[in-house]
């Protein structure tokens, strides 16, 4: 799986920080855009966010229009990859 956008709850894990999880995601899928979903009282170090590879952040509860605008911007700036479909052979039918 090579996701275009990953929505990551910043406090998803008790074992890893949001920064660590973002770094792990970026290792597996370097082109993925990671949007950090923060709680109202979460604080984020913008330098650490940039260093781990997060693309943006939004605080919950968030305005749906703002969320859609961020998602659209992230999708529009994602690298375009060619989708390769397996070759299929079409059999000719004669009657």
Strand 5-9 with 56-59, pairing: unpaired
For residue range 3-38, what is the model confidence (pLDDT) as tens digits? 889 999 998 888 999 999 999 999 999 999 999 999
Closest alpha carbon to 75 in 83, 67, 63, 84: 67
Token pair in block for residue 49:
């966010």
For residue range 32-75, what is the model confidence (pLDDT) as tens digits? 999 999 998 888 899 999 999 999 999 999 999 999 999 999 98
pTM of full prediction above 0.85: no
């Amino acid at each position: 799986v090579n996701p275009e956008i990953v929505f990551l709850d910043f406090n998803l894990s008790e074992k890893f920080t949001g920064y660590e999880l973002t770094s792990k995601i970026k290792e597996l899928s370097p082109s993925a855009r990671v949007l950090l979903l923060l709680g109202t009282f979460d604080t984020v170090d913008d330098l650490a966010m940039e260093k781990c590879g997060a693309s943006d952040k939004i605080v919950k509860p968030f305005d749906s229009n703002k969320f859609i605008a961020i998602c659209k911007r992230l999708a529009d700036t994602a690298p375009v990859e060619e989708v390769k479909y397996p070759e299929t052979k079409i059999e000719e039918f004669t009657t």
